[in-house]
Amino acid sequence: MTFIGSHSPLIALFVATVVAFVAAVIDFRRFRVPNVLTFPLAISGLAFHVTLSGLAGLQYGAGGLAIGFIALLLFYVMGVMGAGDVKLLAAIGAWIGGANVIYVFCVAGIVTGVHSLVVLAWQRRLHEIPAIFQVAVVQMLTLGRHIAQTDSASLAAITARPDRRRYVMPFAVMIAIGVLLVAVREFGL
C-alpha cells in the first residue's frame, strides 16, 4: 500500500477541515461562500477517491457529494440558506463520504440551534420563537407554492444590510465545526 493510500482518510479529513475553516472565515466576513472554493473542492475530492479506489472511490465521493447537497437543498429552496453553503457541504461530502457528511449536517444543525437561542436571548427576543417556528412550518407545508415565489435577491438584500448579523448567520462556520468534530471523532485529534 502506498503512503497516500494508507493515510487517505486522514488526508481527506485534513483537506476538508482546512477548506471548511477557510470557507468559515470568508462566510463570517462576507456572508458568502465563493464558487472558487467549492467547485475545486468537489472536483478534487472526487478525483482523490477515484485515483485511490477507482469506481468504488467514485461511488464514495459522489455519494457524499449527493448527500451533502440534498441535506441542505430544502433550506436553500425555502430561502433561508445561501447556495454557497449547499455547495460547501456537498463538496466536503465528496472528500469525507456520505456517513461523515450526515454527521457534519447533524452537528451543524445542533450548533445552529444553540447559536440561534443564544443570539435571541442576547437580543431579548426569545418570545419570538413560537412565531419563528410557525413561519417555518407554514413554509414547509406550502413548499410547492413557495418554490415558485422564492426570491434569492431577498437573502442577498438581508446579507447586505449593516445589521445583517441580527437576521442571518454564516452557516459555513457551523459546517466547519461539524467537520472538526468528525476529525476529532475519527482520529482523536
Whether 185 is in a domain gets the answer no
Q: How far apart are CA 72 and CA 173, in angstroms?
A: 15
Q: Is residue 157 domain-resident? A: yes
- Per-residue pLDDT of 7-58, as tens digits, reads 688 899 999 999 999 999 999 999 899 999 999 999 999 999 999 999 999 9
pLDDT of residue 158: 55
Confidence at residue 117, expressed as pLDDT on a 0 to 100 scale: 85
> Residue ranges of the alpha helices (H) in 97-170?
98-122, 129-141, 143-149, 152-160
Domains: count for the chain: 1
52 occurs within a structural domain? yes
User: pLDDT band at 148, cuts 50/70/90?
Assistant: very low
**pTM to 2 decimal places:** 0.82
Q: How confident is the model at residue 169 (pLDDT cuts 50, 70, 90)?
A: confident
φ/ψ of residue 100, rounded to 5: -70, -35
180 lies in some domain: no
The answer to whether position 181 is within a domain reads no
Per-residue pLDDT at 181 exceeds 60: yes
Does residue 15 fall inside a structural domain? Answer: yes
Q: Mean pLDDT for the chain?
A: 84
Answer whether residue 150 is part of any domain. yes
Residues spanned by the domain of 74: 3-175
Q: How many percent of the chain have pLDDT more than 70?
A: 78
